[in-house]
Amino acid sequence: MKKNILIIGGVLAIAVAIFGFRFKTSHYKRSITAHLELPIREEVTQRDATQNESQIQIALILDTSGSMDGLLDQAKSQLWNIINELARAEKDSTQAAISIALYEYGNDNISVRQGYVRQVLPFTADLDLLSEKLFALSTNGGSEYCGKAIHTSLKELEWSANDESMKAIYIAGNEPFNQGTFSHQEACQMASQKGVTVFPIFCGDMAEGQRTHWGDCAQLTAGQFMNIDSDVKVVHVATPYDDQINQLNYQLNNTYIYYGNDGRRMKSDQLRQDENQAKYSKMNSVSRALSKSSNIYMNSNWDLLDAYNADTTVITSIDKETLPDSLQEMNTIELKNVVLEKQQEREKIKNEIAKLGVERANYIADNNTSANEVTLGEKMVNTIKIEAKKKGYVFH
């Protein structure tokens, strides 16, 4: 299990290609631009969150039964857009601490004794791990028990004890919400007692979702019932800035120095998650690059630069045999100089990506004519912002 809490330099942001509105006035243009920009905020303080500190926790529970290929596709293609939106959240000039958990339910590969519910990942700030686990999900038959899925996530996850934390469950599927032996109403009442807001997302017609009890949990937890068309393909707007951002992302990867027993493997996983997004489109790669250019993307458990930023003494304590071959024979001073040089290079690249991201946002605001408002990512972004603002978070 990896570190459960994420430092955010901007935070779960969806902001790059999932907006499907026609912009007929300058007001809407300003609105979409605000969603898409990822400016560097050096004046915002970074921090870790303990169980007693305010933070944003989101549990994503996905139906992976046989009919939900479209839902999984939307989640995979919009993950980094969601992260980009979260990257903009802060409270009291402090970046929001973000952690995300992932569950699947309704899959025949899961034991009936577990109610066809499986924790894929507990609350984590490791975005590459989240991407890896999400992309490994596939659909297969199944019986969908929403009440059991919600109850399991409430029992297994380490929810914040702070009343000022935003705690939310997003559960998506297409079968009646009241299926299974565990009462969905009891599960939702438990969520309410824990201060967890439930956002049910029905994959189908709104009236059908209401008829099959998908709205019940939203009422019991002060959430919002939504519906999407899970078969709609996410539309991404190509821009003149995409190639340059992706090239900068390649350069950014070269600033990472792995260390530790798992360092080499996790560096490889970073590149593998780049490849996963590239399989969807060039624009998906751009969304991930924008996330990586923000402070939300932190890898102090395997990257020497991030580790040094968290604790400068790491230089003297690491096992040098776990470093790349070219660095293993360096003394402490030489290694420190390499880290400082790479830090300067990384910050320059991140700033260039951020500037291009703003120009890209403006271009999308002028040219986006897609219809992504019916997709999972768009529904999550809108409600995350509303819910977080109730807890005092602002989105810069």
CA dist 268 and 129 (Å) reads 12
Across the range 25-48, mean pLDDT stands at 36
Instruction: Using pLDDT thresholds of 50, 70 and 90, give the confidence band for residue 369.
Output: low
Across the range 292-310, mean pLDDT stands at 95
Strand partners, 58: 100, 168
CA dist 62 and 72 (Å) reads 8
Is pLDDT of 35 > 50? no
Is pLDDT of 333 > 70? yes
Q: What is the pLDDT of residues 106-116, one digit of tens each?
A: 999 999 999 99
Is pLDDT of 21 > 70? no
Is pLDDT of 54 > 90? no
pLDDT score of 372:
59
CA dist 178 and 137 (Å) reads 24
- 121: three-class secondary structure by DSSP: strand
Q: What is the pLDDT of residues 194-203, one digit of tens each?
A: 999 999 999 9
Across the range 145-161, mean pLDDT stands at 97
Total length of the chain: 396
Q: What is the pLDDT of residues 123-151, one digit of tens each?
A: 999 999 999 999 999 999 889 999 999 99
Is pLDDT of 1 > 90? no
Sign of CA dihedral 336, 254, 135, 102: positive
CA dist 385 and 380 (Å) reads 9
Place of tokens 């291009």: 356
Q: Which of 57-66, 121-130, 360-369 has the lowest mean pLDDT?
A: 360-369
First and final CA of the chain: distance in angstroms?
32
Contact at 8 Å (CB) between 105 and 117? yes
Is pLDDT of 381 > 90? yes
If one compares 232 and 130, the residue with the highest pLDDT of the two is 130
Work out the burial of residue 30: count CB atoms within 10 Å of its CB; fewer than 13 is exposed, 13-18 middle, 19 or more buried. Answer: exposed
pLDDT score of 178:
96
**What integer best gives the mean pLDDT of the chain?**
87
pLDDT score of 49:
52
pLDDT score of 338:
98
Instruction: Using pLDDT thresholds of 50, 70 and 90, give the confidence band for residue 29.
Output: very low
Across the range 151-156, mean pLDDT stands at 98
What tokens were used for 18? 């999932």
pLDDT score of 354:
94
- Residues 45-73 as b/e (b if ≥16 CB within 10 A, e otherwise) read eeeebeeebbbbbbbbbbbbbebbebbbb
Across the range 215-225, mean pLDDT stands at 95
Could you tell me the domains of the chain?
Answer: 30-233+371-395 (3.40.50.410), 242-365 (no CATH)
Is pLDDT of 44 > 70? no
Is pLDDT of 17 > 90? no
